[in-house]
Amino acid sequence: MWAATGALANARAPGTMAAAMHSHEVMREVLKKTSAKQIAADMGLSLSLIYKWAEPAEDDSGSGASSPLDRVGQLIRITHDARIAQWVCEQADGFFIRNPHNLPALQPLIPMTNDIVQEFADMLATIAISSGDNVITKDEAKSIRRRWEELKNVTEGFVKAAETGNFGALAAADAAKAPSTKLQPPMKHQT
């Protein structure tokens, strides 16, 4: 299972922050692993159209065609409805997590860590209460889902803050203000 966060085409290498890929770049990567002929045959489209999806769009002075990825992105921007992204993610056996907005700079690490632990505890409590009678009703399943979504959002906020260097910057700022608490090596006595 995988998760898409924020933009559908937001591809990140493990442990790095990368800018969102353009749809033609995504298609170019897909065509490295999947046969364009097979895609064309399965979708009942021309092979040339599939290859055009892997080129920059014509309005960017390329010869590419507007791809289904572009259309999905356009639909999301027009409707402002994340259920479209959720549906796309479900097609790949995944889920959508909205990127946190307005993260303040220099967030304290311990309170954010505590938020994640508290959300996790709340989710476990919801599961324990719901399963106490060995049956989980539809309403209880919805409640578990809500807690799970909140935990994912809080955790994504933490990860986003870590990726943007908020915690390192805060530690550096605190270290500059406070006197050194590191142990110093013993001084050598000269004889």
Helix (H) or strand (E) holding 153: helix 138-163
Burial code of 137-163, b = ≥16 C-beta within 10 A, e = fewer? Answer: eeebeebbeebeeebbebbbbbebbee
Any idea where the domains of the chain sit in the sequence? 1-97, 100-191
Least confident of 111-115, 126-130, 173-177: 173-177
User: What φ, ψ does residue 97 adopt, rounded to 5°?
Assistant: -125, 120
DSSP state of 8: T
The whole-number pLDDT of residue 167 equals 75
Average pLDDT, the chain: 79
The whole-number pLDDT of residue 104 equals 61
Q: Which residue has the tokens 């986003």?
A: 160
Residue 18 predicted with pLDDT over 70: no
Q: pLDDT tens digit string along 21-80?
A: 899 999 999 999 999 999 999 999 999 999 999 998 776 555 667 889 999 999 999 999
The whole-number pLDDT of residue 58 equals 73
The whole-number pLDDT of residue 8 equals 41
Q: What is the DSSP string of 10-34?
A: ----TT---PPPPHHHHHHHHHHHS
Tokens of 138: 């539809």
Share of the chain above pLDDT 90, in %: 41
